[in-house]
């Protein structure tokens, strides 16, 4: 096993065990499952639509993730720096990339588990009428990628600060901007101040825009590459900030 994989596996399993023993992780999962289902029924009108489809359920995921993913990732690096255990990690003969990917993958595993726990809704709906299983599965894949993109932003924010609160606020702010940019209200407001090409570019960088195809059950190369690019960017920034601590920065 290479230094990357040994470091990755050790830290990934450590993080998962930490989550398994942490009541906050259970509260977090329960909050997402209950809030997403409640929103789908109460606000999205899942029953009232009269159609056996889960668009009403998935449409709220970006907004739930804006709050929940920064909460899930805020401790990842800021806590290591605050308690001094980052020093222990950095003294291991392991590349920084292994540490960064391990922490991200562990948090993403929890986010995916959270999504899996909502599948009874899918199964329940399929008993009531014909459900497009392919489209629903695509939407789940999209939601999974979406959560990964928000988590990568959160990880970078966590590496940038020793304070959990500051990390959360930073990730929340960036995530909100990256989501709200796709709202018609925001794009029309931006269009009043900015040139049209710039407005269109900003709107096209929105999480909502990238998720829209998946939500409809279509895997779009643009959406897929967008999410992968956000994850790669977030993890690169995390790695840079973690490595920066070797240079003696906060």
CB atoms within 10 A of CB 66: 22
| Binding window for another protein (CB under 8 A); candidates: 13-21, 110-118, 129-137, 176-184 | 13-21
How many residues at the interface with another protein, by CB under 8 A?
Answer: 27
Contact status: 10 vs another protein (CB under 8 A): yes
Residue 11 CB, nearest distance to another protein (Å)? Answer: 7
Alpha helices in the chain (DSSP H): 3-20, 23-42, 55-58, 61-73, 75-83, 85-90, 96-116, 119-128, 133-160, 164-180, 184-193, 196-204, 207-215, 221-246
Query: Is 94 a binder of another protein (CB under 8 A)?
Result: yes
164 binds another protein (CB under 8 A): no
CB-CB contact of 131 with 122 (8 Å): yes
25 binds another protein (CB under 8 A): no
**Rounded to whole angstroms, how far apart are CA atoms 15 and 60?**
28
Stretch (H or E) spanning 220: none
Q: Is 88 in the site for another protein (CB under 8 A)?
A: yes
Q: How far is the CB of 235 from another protein (least distance, A)?
A: 19
User: Using the rule CB under 8 A, is 225 a contact of another protein?
Assistant: no
Among 49, 85, 189, 201, binds another protein (CB under 8 A): 85
Q: Which is closer to another protein, CB of 65 or CB of 77?
A: 77
With tokens 């959270």, the residue in question is 114
Asked if 93 interacts with another protein (CB under 8 A), we say yes
* Integer CA distances (angstroms), 168 to 51, 73, 135, in order: 38, 8, 33
Q: Is residue 173 a contact point for another protein (CB under 8 A)?
A: no
217 conformational bin, left if phi > 0, alpha if psi -120 to 50, beta if neither: left
Which residues touch 227 (CB under 8 Å, ≥6 apart)?
145, 146, 148, 149, 210
Residue 23 engages another protein in binding (rule: CB under 8 A): no
- To another protein, the closest distance from the beta carbon of 69 in angstroms equals 22
Residues that bind another protein (CB under 8 A): 1, 3, 6-7, 9-11, 13-14, 17-18, 21-22, 83-85, 87-88, 90-95, 246-248
């Amino acid at each position: 096993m290479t230094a990357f994989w040994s470091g990755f596996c050790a830290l990934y399993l450590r993080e998962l065990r930490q989550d398994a023993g942490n009541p906050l992780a259970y509260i977090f999962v329960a909050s997402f499952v209950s809030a997403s289902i409640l929103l789908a029924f109460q606000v999205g009108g899942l029953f009232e639509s009269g159609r056996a489809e889960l668009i009403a359920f998935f449409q709220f995921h970006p907004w739930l993730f804006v709050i929940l993913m920064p909460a899930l990732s805020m401790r990842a690096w800021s806590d290591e720096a605050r308690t001094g255990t980052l020093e222990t990690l950095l003294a291991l003969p392991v590349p920084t990339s292994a540490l960064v990917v391990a922490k991200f993958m562990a948090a993403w595993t929890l986010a995916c588990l959270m999504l899996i726990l909502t599948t009874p809704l899918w199964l329940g709906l399929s008993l009531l009428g014909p459900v497009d299983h392919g489209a629903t599965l695509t939407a789940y894949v999209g939601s999974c990628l979406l959560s990964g993109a928000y988590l990568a932003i959160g990880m970078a924010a966590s590496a940038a600060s020793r304070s959990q609160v500051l990390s959360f606020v930073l990730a929340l702010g960036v995530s909100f901007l990256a989501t709200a940019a796709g709202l018609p209200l925001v794009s029309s407001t931006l269009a009043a101040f900015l040139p049209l090409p710039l407005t269109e570019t900003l709107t096209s960088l929105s999480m909502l825009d990238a998720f829209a195809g998946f939500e409809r059950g279509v895997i779009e190369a643009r959406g897929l590459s967008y999410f992968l690019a956000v994850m790669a960017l977030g993890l690169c920034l995390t790695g840079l900030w973690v490595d920066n601590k070797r240079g003696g920065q906060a």
